Structure 1
Amino acid sequence: MSRLTRSPIEIIAIIAGIAGVMLVLYAWRLPPFRTSVETTEDAYVQGYVTMLSPQVSGYVTQVLVKDYQEVMTGQVLVRIDDRTYTQRLAQAQASLAAQRAALANSHQQEAAAEAGIASSQAQIDSAEAALKHAQLNWDRVSELVKKGVSTAADSEAAQATLDQAKAAVNQAQAALEVSRQNLQTIVVNRGSLEAAVSGAEAAVKLAEIDLQYATITAPADGRVGVVGVRVGQYVTPGSQLLAVVPRDVWVIANFKETQLDGMKVGQPVSITVDAFSHQRLSGHIESFSPAAGSEFAVIKPDNATGNFTKIAQRVGVRIAFDEGQPLTAALTPGLSVVVSVDKSSQPRLAAALGG
């Protein structure tokens, strides 16, 4: 038999060997399978899932949505019995009215004190006028006494009148000082009254907020998840009632670190959605994770061990969907996708600039 002739088994073995080599070359992206397109199946649709919880406690009186229902921003989802919070608001408003009345009374007292000061000043003027008259009378009587015209009794009466006039002036001056101190006391107490009004206003605002919290509304347009709250259920702050999933979605693709060289923000991306019969959507790279995924793990791997095997780490790449694709409205967080990036493509200027 000629050496050029091979048995079927040898031919199969050669083909299998060549296929194995080609498979290795393909897996490692070596020539002739080297390409600028990087693909990963470790990619998922992401979105904001907002879990709604009450900030006040009470019994649920109404649940106005069902599972997976579309909702709009501000739409009422759940109502909590608000009778207690309504009464607390009324109580706070009454307290505010009382504090404002006390402050208004303080202003009235100030006006009265200012009038008292004016009255005291008038009394001083009157007493000083009487003192002047008494002094003149005393001077006149004393001269007459010296000349022997007037009696000692007249002199004593004029002296008493003068002393009384001096005392009246001192009394009027003291009354003026008392009026001024009363005014100062009113002004000083004004600060505490104004602070009490501010505190009462804050109490009213807090009561209004608590009353508003008894009505739970949708924070954004989207769809409701599973509604876990029921009518008659007693809820407390922090209780998970339901989730609202807004319509904004994007993709997080976890590429190996060996695939990142050449990727840039703004480069176009091809996205295949498993749930939509592998239909393709277009997008672009929006940003790169600041660290490998292992750095965000709750329990980080410890590589300082005796037996070490190098493993290529994965880095998250955030990908935004291009506008004008109706299919994106049907995407929901958690769906699996396959992402392909051609590193030889040029970044889109608007996407690179964040537009």
Structure 2
Amino acid sequence: MESKRKVLMLSVVAVMLVVLSSIGAYYWYESNYYVTTEDAKVAGDIVKVSPQMTGKLLELDVEEGQSLEKDQIIGRQEMGTLSDTNLEQSVIRAPISGFVLKKQVTPGELVSTGQTLIMMVDPAKLYINANIEENDLAKLKIGQRVEITVDEFDGHKMYGKIQSVGKAANSAFSLLSGSTSGTFTKVVQRVPVKIVFEDKQNCNGLLLGTNAVVKIHIR
């Protein structure tokens, strides 16, 4: 009976050692071959559409989520004292091909030069903005391959590559100044890394600002 108990205990210990060794080997492999973060989002360069002149907005024929073509006429302003030869100044056109993210004015309002009427983004030029801990930056290089999983399409794996690594931590752009008194707590800083998709078709259907997980191949 005692012998069976010892065998059972030894078997349990052996299994535990195998499991712990496997877990250790897994984390060693992951840390040596990949840099992974869940602090990543789908991003894009937002284009703000503004009028060329100050005047009453007569029409703005767009809705949020609508697709537009570059140079498509989307609105008109009251010409006022403009001559017919300057008619183009009262016309509002889409500066890029893309879709409308936000509409910020309605017809009838007085709008001025430089005021944002709508915000647009080109869906073919979306990318991933990943925030990487400063301790892992030395492992990163431009062009490294990246596995991307977007929460919106859970389980569907996409691929990209590092296009650029930020030259400042996110905290450098904070509007709040750092504490100059009292106790100090060291916080690991994160630096933005831009990841572009290998296949631009993967951008179709992605929503700006949605969460993603990235796994960067460092070896």
- TM norm structure 1: 0.52
Q: Deviations over 1:201-238 (max 9, x none)?
A: xxxxxxx4xx4331111111100123333332322334
Task: Tell me the distance in 1 between the aligned counterparts of 2:102 and 2:170.
Answer: 30
Aligned to 1:56: 53
- TM norm structure 2: 0.80
Instruction: Identify if the C-alpha distance between structure 1 residues 32 and 81 changes in structure 2 by more than 3 Å, giving closer, same or farther.
Output: closer
Q: Does residue 268 of structure 1 match 2:150? A: no
What is the aligned-residue identity percentage? Answer: 31
Aligned to 1:39: 36
Give the unaligned 5+ runs of structure 2. 7-11
Please give the residue correspondences for 1:278-317 in structure 2 after superposition, counting only pairs within 5 Å.
278-302=155-179, 305-317=181-193
TM-aligned CA deviation for residue 306 of structure 1: 4.7
Instruction: Identify if the C-alpha distance between structure 1 residues 309 and 229 changes in structure 2 by more than 3 Å, giving closer, same or farther.
Output: closer
Task: Tell me the distance in 1 between the aligned counterparts of 2:26 and 2:68.
Answer: 53
Instruction: Identify if the C-alpha distance between structure 1 residues 313 and 228 changes in structure 2 by more than 3 Å, giving closer, same or farther.
Output: closer
* Aligned residue identity for 2:28: R
Aligned to 1:318: 194
2:205 to 324, 330, 337: 330
Give the unaligned 5+ runs of structure 1. 7-13, 90-207, 345-355
Q: Does residue 74 of structure 1 match 2:68? A: no
* Aligned residue identity for 2:67: E
Q: Aligned pairs, how many? A: 207
Contact 2:145 2:216 in 1 (8 A): yes
User: Is the strand fraction higher in 1 or 2?
Assistant: 2
* Aligned residue identity for 1:337: A
Task: Tell me the distance in 1 between the aligned counterparts of 2:26 and 2:159.
Answer: 28
Aligned to 1:65: 62
Aligned to 2:115: 239
User: Is the helix fraction higher in 1 or 2?
Assistant: 1
Question: Which protein shows a greater Rg?
Answer: 1
Contact 2:165 2:192 in 1 (8 A): yes
Contact 1:294 1:300 in 2 (8 A): no
Task: Tell me the distance in 2 between the aligned counterparts of 1:294 and 1:231.
Answer: 40
Alignment root-mean-square deviation, CA: 3.1
Contact 1:285 1:318 in 2 (8 A): yes
Task: Tell me the distance in 2 between the aligned counterparts of 1:220 and 1:320.
Answer: 19
